[in-house]
């Protein structure tokens, strides 16, 4: 049964390998908790079965955000099972996830990423230029880590890059002449080292980039410019989105650049942007300033 569900996630939902593994793990955990061993027993699961598992997760210290993510896996599973007549009713209809506090995305301040600040961080060597290309791509385009890893040399054009996002959906993102020049310089260094690989970003030995390597590099360079507790590639994605909105970008345009499926995912950044607008209002409007 889970093999069929896995095929569905890959072929129809077009989820990434990481997402598929997470969904299967969540479903397996529910079945194991309720002692389900055979296909026909799945139909015996009720909303009580799922609530019991959910309570067990919470009591074991799993945070509400993670619990809701696991419930999302189950919703997909039972919708698929009902469509295939494996269950008569979807028990998830009567299951509500625990409330979770909304966390605003953290972001690096604009002044901490000015060229005169960041240019001094990278030596003019192959690793140094490669690291600078990674930082600038994350910050100037807002791409995801998986999208950076999958970026090929022939996906880079004079004024844009072509990115393969979630569910294999392609999108085109503009890039500045300065970023294009930096990328060309890096590719030239790759050629000089005879690194014959189609992936744009590679390791020091010319191998394909992997997540831990990129995370470690971004964490190191962000630690030089910011005191944020989190210093990851995704923080630079949040930073890109926040800075774009603060400087006049529209939500619809930002949604397309980020590759969000719906506008609600993009709207989370408006909270950070509103703080900026409030500050501008207080300074600019005759009655907007705070009384001293």
238 is catalytic: no
60 is catalytic: no
166 is catalytic: yes
Q: Which tokens hold the place of 2?
A: 């889970």
Q: Which tokens hold the place of 101?
A: 């506090």
Query: Active-site residue among 190, 217, 255, 260?
Result: 260
Contact 175, 185 (CB under 8 A): no
18 is catalytic: no
Residue owning tokens 């077009």:
14
Cα 210–Cα 105–Cα 271 angle in degrees, nearest 5: 150
**Bridge partners of residue 174, in order along the sequence:** 160
Nearest alpha carbon to residue 233 among 151, 146, 155, 161: 146
Q: What is the dihedral of CA 222, 148, 234, 159, to 10 degrees?
A: 80
Query: Active-site residue among 79, 144, 152, 276?
Result: 144
Query: Active-site residue among 13, 51, 166, 171?
Result: 166
271 is catalytic: no
Query: Active-site residue among 130, 237, 243, 255?
Result: 237
Query: Active-site residue among 13, 82, 234, 276?
Result: 234
Active site residues: 144, 166, 234, 237, 260, 269
């Amino acid at each position: 049964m889970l093999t069929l569900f896995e095929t569905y996630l890959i072929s129809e939902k077009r989820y990434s390998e990481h997402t598929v593994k997470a969904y299967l793990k969540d479903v397996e955990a529910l079945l194991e908790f309720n002692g389900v061993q055979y296909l026909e027993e799945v139909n015996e699961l009720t909303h009580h079965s799922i609530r019991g598992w959910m309570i067990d997760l919470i009591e074991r210290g799993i945070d509400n955000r993670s619990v809701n993510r696991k419930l999302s896996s189950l919703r997909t599973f039972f919708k698929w099972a009902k469509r295939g007549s494996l269950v008569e009713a979807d028990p998830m209809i009567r299951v509500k996830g625990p409330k979770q506090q909304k966390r605003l995305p953290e972001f690096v301040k604009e002044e901490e990423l000015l060229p005169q600040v960041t240019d001094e961080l990278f030596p003019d060597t192959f690793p140094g230029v490669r690291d600078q290309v990674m930082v600038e791509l994350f910050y100037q385009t807002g791409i995801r880590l998986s999208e950076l890893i999958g970026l090929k040399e022939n996906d880079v054009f004079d004024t844009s890059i072509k990115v393969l996002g979630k569910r294999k959906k392609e999108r085109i993102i503009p890039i500045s002449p300065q970023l294009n020049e930096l990328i060309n310089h890096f590719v030239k260094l790759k050629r000089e080292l005879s690194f014959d690989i189609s992936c744009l970003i590679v390791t020091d030995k010319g191998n394909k980039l992997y997540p831990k390597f990129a995370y470690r590099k971004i964490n190191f360079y962000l630690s030089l410019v910011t005191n944020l507790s989190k210093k990851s590639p995704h923080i630079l994605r949040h930073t890109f989105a926040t800075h774009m909105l603060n400087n006049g970008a529209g939500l619809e345009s930002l949604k397309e650049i980020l590759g969000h499926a719906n506008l609600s995912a993009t709207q989370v950044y408006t909270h950070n942007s509103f703080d900026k607008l409030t500050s501008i209002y207080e300074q600019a409007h005759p009655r907007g300033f705070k009384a001293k």
